[in-house]
Structure 1
Amino acid sequence: MTGNSSTFVLVPGAWQGGWSWQPVARRLRAAGQQALTLTLPGLADGDSPTGLHLSDAVAHVVSEIEKRGLEQVTLVAHSRGGYVVTGAAHELAGRVTKVIYYNALVPERGVPLVDENEDYSVMIKTAIAASPDGSMSVVPEQVPLLLPDQTADAQRLFFELLVAQPGAYFLEALDVPAVTTLGIPAAYILSEDDRALARPGAEFAARVGLTPVIIPGGHESMLTHPDDVTRALLAA
């Protein structure tokens, strides 16, 4: 994955690692594309979430792309990864040819994720304040919002794969404008039964002047409907 080959760089959302993108990555490669799945700092097995900042997550994506010499990169953000991808795109001038937001937050300059939804704000701040390491974990009752179309057994398995999220990833904002100000094309893909976003996906898409492309499934449809997600990424 070096030189001038085009590469999909797949950035996960909160509580997840690159494993969440594996079904889609395999399908992209089977379709003749290059694909790289990333795990952000603090979210690999055994990582500590302590002391990490949003800037660390952005720097990790930038570093992984630069050290591999990747060009013609399509940055793909899931969920909270929209913040990371937006920040990284501003530091990868000349390397990124498209940004795709998939069930993702499109950040506004100076607005942290925690301020996108009043109910989420209370929940997130309370959980982080109660955590000894400043992190936030998913509780089992929240998992059906992420996998609304799956069985209880599948939801329990998914819960076991999640790890605590560094709290600053939710609390810190970006000081950059929308990626479209860079002249980079953008696309927005939205699952029809997404129940987890802080705002309706159409509102986030409108921030970059887009109407969402609708696909089946819920917030984690890259795991439950990987064929649909892959087709949408290739068509974006």
Structure 2
Amino acid sequence: MTLTMSPTFVLVPGAWQGGWAWQPVARRLREVGHAAVTVTLPGLADGDDRAGLRLSDAIDHVVAEVERRDLTEVVLVGQSWGGYVITGAANALIGRLAKVIYYNAVVPARGTAMVDENAEYAALTRAAIAASPDGTIGLVREQVPMLMPEADEQTRDLFFELLVPQPGGYFLDPLDVDDVTALGVPAGYILSEDDRALARPGAELASRIGLTPVLVSGGHESMLTRPDEVAKALLTSALS
């Protein structure tokens, strides 16, 4: 597929993170002449009210942002849990999309919630959400090395300080929509070689939509630790 005009990248973060996680990549995309929008989903900005939010709230936010800006030739990119958000949003934005790219992301199986992608931790995650006063779930500092194996301790500490609790409904709600291949929207999958955080192997997730991952270096958060490489991979995927 060859785009008829310069694409606009709409970058959706994963759990516990805001649009800040995509800013290094967005800056590099802009430097080479492409528009880039970093999205902070409801409940994931500092000080947000997180109680009662559902997956549909996150999806609706992305759709509304694209429509408010009247964006076309959109390359919709989602990281990690954000794969749920971009899949749902794609179904409402078909006419505005140039491509959907999963980056270290879950490609949702129809009817399966994020919490159920890893059966080993599903019960613990549900219990933690149920026990939280506002129905959220946090990340503990000891989990950060799994997300950023290539980073030093100072970088990991800073990353952890920027995280906020994840609205539980975002993990508990399944999607009941067509995958992007059924929509006729081109798709890509970019995978970090040292990703240790995905619920299932990235190659397995990519195969759900008939793709083989394009590999970049680093771990799950390589958009922060390897922004040059991730930006280049996104451009190559979007423009091919």
**TM-score, structure 2 normalization:** 0.95
1:123-174 alpha-carbon deviations (Å, 9 max, x no partner): 3112212211100000111111111111112111110000000000000011
- Equivalent position of 1:139 in the other structure: 140
Which ranges of 4 or more aligned residues in structure 1 deviate by more than 2 Å?
A: none
Task: Please give the residue correspondences for 1:216-235 in structure 2 after superposition, counting only pairs within 5 Å.
Answer: 216-235=217-236
Provide the C-alpha distance between the structure 1 equivalents of 2:213 and 2:7, rounded to a whole number of angstroms: 24
Aligned pairs, how many? 233
- Paired letter, 1:163: V
Q: What SS is found at the alignment partner of 2:79?
A: strand
Provide the C-alpha distance between the structure 2 equivalents of 1:123 and 1:78, rounded to a whole number of angstroms: 23
Provide the C-alpha distance between the structure 2 equivalents of 1:12 and 1:83, rounded to a whole number of angstroms: 11
- Equivalent position of 2:185 in the other structure: 184
Provide the C-alpha distance between the structure 2 equivalents of 1:168 and 1:62, rounded to a whole number of angstroms: 18
Please tell me whether residue 29 in structure 1 is matched to residue 30 in structure 2: yes
Provide the C-alpha distance between the structure 1 equivalents of 2:25 and 2:121, rounded to a whole number of angstroms: 29
Q: What SS is found at the alignment partner of 1:28?
A: helix
Please tell me whether residue 203 in structure 1 is matched to residue 204 in structure 2: yes
- Equivalent position of 1:120 in the other structure: 121
- Paired letter, 1:92: L
Give 1:45 shift. 1.1
Q: Contact (CA 8 Å) 1:108, 1:177: kept in 2 or not?
A: no
Provide the C-alpha distance between the structure 2 equivalents of 1:225 and 1:128, rounded to a whole number of angstroms: 32
Provide the C-alpha distance between the structure 2 equivalents of 1:224 and 1:120, rounded to a whole number of angstroms: 27
- Paired letter, 2:74: V
Q: Unaligned stretches of 5+ in structure 1? A: none
Please tell me whether residue 75 in structure 1 is matched to residue 70 in structure 2: no
Q: Contact (CA 8 Å) 1:109, 1:175: kept in 2 or not?
A: yes
- Equivalent position of 2:159 in the other structure: 158
CA-atom RMSD, angstroms? Answer: 0.9
Give 1:177 shift. 1.7
Task: Please give the residue correspondences for 1:10-29 in structure 2 after superposition, counting only pairs within 5 Å.
Answer: 10-29=11-30
Using the aligned pairs only, state the percent identity.
Answer: 66
Q: What SS is found at the alignment partner of 2:37?
A: strand
Provide the C-alpha distance between the structure 2 equivalents of 1:139 and 1:225, rounded to a whole number of angstroms: 23
**TM-score, structure 1 normalization:** 0.97
